[in-house]
Amino acid sequence: MTFNNNFLLAANFLEGLELKNVFLLVSFIVVFYLFMVRPQQRRQKEQRDFLDQLQKGVEVITIGGIHGRVHEVQDQLVVLEVDQKGTKITFSKNAVSIDASKKQNQSQNK
């Protein structure tokens, strides 16, 4: 008798999984993709393009907050001139912040 009751409970549960529940699950996945994954991919592409277009003389800020002017660009490295005396520091290209650099350049252009 207990086996039959458990079987009937399982059958009732499976009947409850209707098309609207599947639609709800799919809609959650789509919303998650549109609001979380897609914007992150866009930011990563902007960062990659920014780093690929770095050239000598551009004012940048690193993710550590160091301000400098690009002196030299190599494959994965960038050399920044950080003061008027000509002090140069080598960083990984990934250490250059696109957000801080854009904000600084916009404020200088105003």
pLDDT at residue number 10: 60
pLDDT in tens, 9-30: 565 665 656 777 778 888 999 9
Per-residue pLDDT tens digits for 31-61: 999 999 999 999 999 989 988 988 998 899 9
With 0-12 / 13-18 / 19 or more C-beta atoms within 10 angstroms meaning exposed / middle / buried, residue 42 is exposed
Domains of the chain by residue range: 1-53, 55-110
Nearest to 51 by CA among 64, 70, 66, 67: 70
CATH of domain 55-110: 2.30.30
